[in-house]
Amino acid sequence: MALFTEIKKLIHDVLTENDGQSYCIGRVIIAFLATSGFPTFLGCALYSVYANPEHHFDQQSFGIAFGAILAGLSTAVISIGQKQKTDK
């Protein structure tokens, strides 16, 4: 049970601001996108194999685009975080 509370505390610390109370919307969006990437990839791959065999799912393009989206959002969140540190 201690491991579960440590993981819960880690996730809470990652998603909240410095005060530990307010959630950073950018971090929440990135966490959502990061966890939704694999099911989306798997769903597209299975759809192209079973439901529509004529449709070709390009895994490399999906991975490059998904990585670019995550990198862009991460850069935005880091710059917002740095701005908040300097505003005080």
Cβ atoms of 31 and 15 closer than 8 Å: yes
User: Does 87 map to a domain?
Assistant: no
Cβ atoms of 34 and 70 closer than 8 Å: yes
pTM of the model: 0.62
User: Does 44 map to a domain?
Assistant: yes
What is the pLDDT at residue 85? 64
Give residue 6's pLDDT band: very low, low, confident or very high (50, 70, 90).
Answer: confident
Least confident of 33-37, 38-42, 56-60: 33-37
Q: Look up the domain containing 61 and give its range.
A: 22-82
pLDDT tens for 67-81 read 898 888 888 777 766
User: How many domains, the chain?
Assistant: 1
User: Does 39 map to a domain?
Assistant: yes
Radius of gyration of the chain (CA): 18
